[in-house]
Structure 1
């Protein structure tokens, strides 16, 4: 985990149309903790044994408890705040997701980091819709654990 961490990319709202193809990150590594997973299970009422039962999970297909895929997805706003700052806006709104995949599981106790690429910029009247392809890496996996096209609406 000695990779060079990129500082947050600052882009002026007026310059968003020129940001297509920009690569952002990576973020610092962030741990996935047992209390996070337990809290997420409580909030979502998803107490499946692969997430919360350490004894049963140790004999299961992953050999340990794993984070919920949606927990990983829920960390995207946290990571995006470390990847991109758009100045000169009155607000930004999470507009939605185009595609989400969880190619690999996240063992509890592993560390995650994210990087992104601007894959679409759609200027509108008074706003700009930006699509970022976010890839979340895990220090315990040889491929991404989450890849999502995140759509954010920036209002000038």
Structure 2
């Protein structure tokens, strides 16, 4: 198996179907969640919806680079999203999240292994491998927050 296939599989685990590292994944945590729970504020913490949108923001930005585009994402905008105001909004977001995540995984698989050690856009950003690994680690970090928020929001129902 190519390294890019292994890395792609690790990304799919955190988003779609894995339980090895965190005993859960984004799809398991978000797919059956209603929009009101996803947007429920707990103190001054980010909502589940905002955390999921934040991860999606970075996935989309890296996808753009994988497809030959520029790196347009900026940390200062990574929490700025239109409010989700209905179940339809939430479901539309989740659809984009799943589709763009699958595209991310597929684009990783298509990379030749040699590309993993190539500079990602600019030397200050490190290599492709470093950026993909950071995306996986970043996703796990926020998944942990989502799990805790879901428990707080559902009062132990889930």
* TM-score computed with the length of structure 2 as normaliser: 0.24
Q: Which has the higher contact order (CA 8 A, sep 6+)?
A: 2
Q: Which has the larger radius of gyration?
A: 1
Specify which structure has the higher proportion of strand.
1
The structure where helix makes up a greater share of residues is 2
Report the TM-score when normalising by structure 1: 0.24
